[in-house]
Structure 1
Amino acid sequence: MNHGQQSIASVYRSYLREIRRLPHAYLRRVFRLKAEDGCRAALLTKCDDLRARKLKRVSQTIQHVRAANNGNHKAFNHILDIAYGRVGKLRWELMEPLLSDPNAPLPPPIIPGKESSRPPVYSPGLTALLTSGLSRRKRPLVPENLSFPPILPERADPNSSDAQILGPFSKRREVNARWKYFRREWKKVFPPLQISVSPSQDVGNEGNDLSTSAAVQKIGFDGTTVLEELVQLTTKPKNTSRKGSDASLPRRWLRRRYQELLGRLPILTFISAREDMKTKKPGGFSVSLAPNALKVRFQGRSLPCSTDDDVAWNQKHPANIKA
C-alpha cells in the first residue's frame, strides 16, 4: 500500500468512527455511503493534486460530522440538510421531477417558429410549493407572478399602454426573463421528500384512481418510511439512539434539531377530485408541515420556533407582525 492509499485508508477509518456516533440509523446509512463514495473517488484518481483536493473535501465532511456529534447546532443542522436533501445533489434529485409537467400541453413558442423560445411550464406541484409560505425561504409568490413574472416590464403585455406608446417588448428578452425567473424562484423552494395522496371521501369515485395516478409524479422517497421515521424521532425521543450506537447527545436537544428540520420539510399532498350530486371539485395540491415541526416561516417572514397556536394567532393579527 503506497502513501496515498494509506492516507485515504486513514481518512476512511476516521470517517467511520464519527459515523458510528451519529444518533440514528438513517444518518449512519447516508454518511456511510457518502464516505465510501468519497474515498473510492479519491482512490481511483491518478492525479496527485486532484486526489488531494478530493480527500480534503472528504476531510471537511468528517469535520462537520464530528462537530455535529459534539453538539454544534449549526453543524448538526448542516448534516441533516445533506441527509434529507435540503442542500446538495439530493436536493436536485428531489426537485427535478417537479420542474416539468408531462401531462401538460406544450405552450406555444414566444418567438413564432423557434422551438427553444417556449416559456417554462409550472407543474401543479411546483405551483403549490412556490405559492406557499411553508415551502419557501422567501415570501411566497402569487399565481399572477407565474403567468407574468414581475421582472418583466409592463411593456411585455401587448395590451398595456406602455406597449402602445413605446412599441412591443423584445420577444427574445421576454424568453430570457421568463426562464431566469423560473430558475431563480424554484431554487428558493424546500423540496418535499415525497408526494402524499389524499383520496376523495365520495362514494362511487373508483374512476379517480386512474386520474390520480396520472396526475401525481413520483419523487425521491415515495414508497419509503423516511418521513414517518423522522416524525417519530420528534415524538418518541427514546428512538433517537439504538444499542450499539455511540450517540451521546441529549435527547431533548436532538428532538429540537429534528423538529427544526421538519420545519424545512414541506409535505406536498395531492387531493383527489371530488364529484357528487351537488358539487364537482377538481383535484389539486396542498402544502403543509408535520404536526411537530417548528415553523420558521410565516408568509415569508421569520417566526423562530413558533407553534401552531402562534401561527393561528398571527393569521388573525397580521398587523402585529413586524416586517
Structure 2
Amino acid sequence: MNHGRQAIASVYRSYIREIGRLPHVYLRRVFRLKAEDDCRAVLLTKCDDRRTGKLKRVSKARLLLSIRAANNGSHQAFNRILDLAYGRVGRLRWELMEPLLSDPNAPLPPPIIPGKESSRPPVYSQELTTLLTSGLSRRKRPLVPGDLSFPPILPQRADPNSSDAQILGPFSKRREVNARWKYFGQEWKKVLPPLQISVSSSREVGDEGSDLGTSTAVRKIGFDGTTVLEELIQLTKPRNISGVFLPRRWLRRRYQELLGRLPILTFTSACEDMKTKKSGGFSVSLAPNALKARNQVRPLPCATDDDIAWNQSIWQAGRAVVRGRDHQEEIHCETRSPTSNYIE
C-alpha cells in the first residue's frame, strides 16, 4: 500500500512540475484540478489490481504527455490543451452544450405518431438554431433554416404533399422520428459551444424607445459571471503574455487561433423606435483578434440568373475577340509572299 502511495505521489509530482510551466494562470488551475481528481480516484480505489491499472493509465495518460510537449513548444499539443481547458473538446464541451440542447420555454411539438409520446421530434432552441446556421460556430458548413424543419437525410417521400408520397405511399413515421433525432444528434456535435451568452442592447444613446427584451430572459450557461473570456481576449494583445518558457509572439498566435474556434453568442434585446423597428435575437461573432479557420470563411452565394447571363456575355465577348484576332492573323499570312521567309 505504501509503495502504491509513493507511485501515485510520484505521478502527481510529475503533473505539478509540468503544470507549473504553463504560461497562463487559468491553464494551471484547470489542469491542477484535473491532476488532483485523477490521482484521488486512484487513491480511493481499494482493489489492488484496479488501482494498479488506474495508476498505469494516469502515469501514461495522453494529458501528461500533451502538457509536456506543449511546454516544449509543440504547436499541436498546445492547441490540444487549450481546447481541453476552454471546452472545445472533452467533458467541458458537453457541459457547455447541454443547456442549449433543450428549451424549457418552448412548447412541446406534437408527436409524429399519434398517441406515442416518445415520437416527438427534437426541439431546436433559439441559441442552438443560431449556432447551427452560423459559419463561425460550425466545424462544417452552416445549415439553412429549412434543414432544421425538414432534415436533408429525409427523402422527399416524407413530405405528404410531394409527388413521391402520392406515388409510393406515405413514409414510415417511425423512420421519420429516427431520422430527425439522428440528424439532430450529428449536427449539434459539429457546433463549437460558446463560453457564455453575452447581452447587448440594440438601442443607442439618445434613441427613444422601450426595450422589449431584457437580460433576465437570457439563460446563464458556462462561464457566465466570470472574466474567463475577457482574460483570454487580453492575452491576444501585445505585452499581455508573460511566457517564461515559450516566446510571447508564439503564445499570442496560439490564443488568437483559439479565439477563432470560440464563437461569441450575443443576445440583442428588442427595440422599437419611432422610425425603425428592430427585433431582438441571437447573433454569433468572433473576437476582434481571432484568427478564422479556413472552414469558417463564409461561402460564396449561389449565382443568380443575372450573374449567369453576365458570365455568358463576358464569355461570348472573349470568344469574339479571339476569333477576330485569329482572322487577322490568317489575312496577314495570306498577304505575305511565299519567299518572304527566305528573304528575311
Deviation at 1:227, TM superposition (A): 0.6
Deviation at 1:207, TM superposition (A): 5.2
Q: Is the 8 A contact 1:237 1:252 kept in 2?
A: no
Moved more, 4-13 or 276-285: 276-285
Q: Residue 332 of structure 2 corresponds to which residue in structure 1? A: none
SS at match of 1:286: strand
Give TM-score, length-normalised by structure 2.
Answer: 0.82
1:20-66 CA-to-partner distances (Å, cap 9, x unmatched) read 10001000000110010010011111233433343344332211111
Q: How many percent identity over aligned positions?
A: 79
Match of 1:177 among 176, 179, 191: 179
Structure 1 residues 177 and 275, CA gap change in structure 2 (3 angstroms): same
Q: Residue 156 of structure 1 corresponds to which residue in structure 2? A: 158
Deviation at 1:203, TM superposition (A): 3.4
SS at match of 2:241: helix
Q: Using the alignment, how far apart are the partners of 1:182 and 1:206 within structure 2?
A: 33
1:59-108 CA-to-partner distances (Å, cap 9, x unmatched) read 32211111100001111011000000001110000001110111111111
Query: 1:286 aligned to 2:288?
Result: no
Q: Using the alignment, how far apart are the partners of 1:48 and 1:76 within structure 2?
A: 35
Structure 1 residues 87 and 11, CA gap change in structure 2 (3 angstroms): same
Match of 1:232 among 231, 234, 246: 234
Structure 1 residues 260 and 219, CA gap change in structure 2 (3 angstroms): same
Q: Which amino acid aligns with 1:136?
A: R
Q: Using the alignment, how far apart are the partners of 1:166 and 1:75 within structure 2?
A: 54
1:281-307 CA-to-partner distances (Å, cap 9, x unmatched) read 3211110110101100455x6xxxxxx
Structure 1 residues 55 and 236, CA gap change in structure 2 (3 angstroms): farther
Q: Using the alignment, how far apart are the partners of 2:132 and 2:213 within structure 1?
A: 26
Q: Using the alignment, how far apart are the partners of 2:144 and 2:257 within structure 1?
A: 26
Match of 1:145 among 144, 147, 152: 147
SS at match of 2:267: strand
Q: Which amino acid aligns with 2:15?
A: Y
Structure 1 residues 239 and 32, CA gap change in structure 2 (3 angstroms): same
Q: Which has the larger radius of gyration?
A: 2
Gap runs ≥5 in structure 2: 308-344
Q: Residue 82 of structure 2 corresponds to which residue in structure 1? A: 80
Q: CA RMSD in A?
A: 2.1
Deviation at 1:183, TM superposition (A): 0.5
Q: Residue 273 of structure 2 corresponds to which residue in structure 1? A: 276
Higher relative contact order (CA 8 A, sep 6+): 1
Query: 1:208 aligned to 2:213?
Result: yes
Q: Using the alignment, how far apart are the partners of 2:51 and 2:265 within structure 1?
A: 41
Gap runs ≥5 in structure 1: 242-246, 302-310
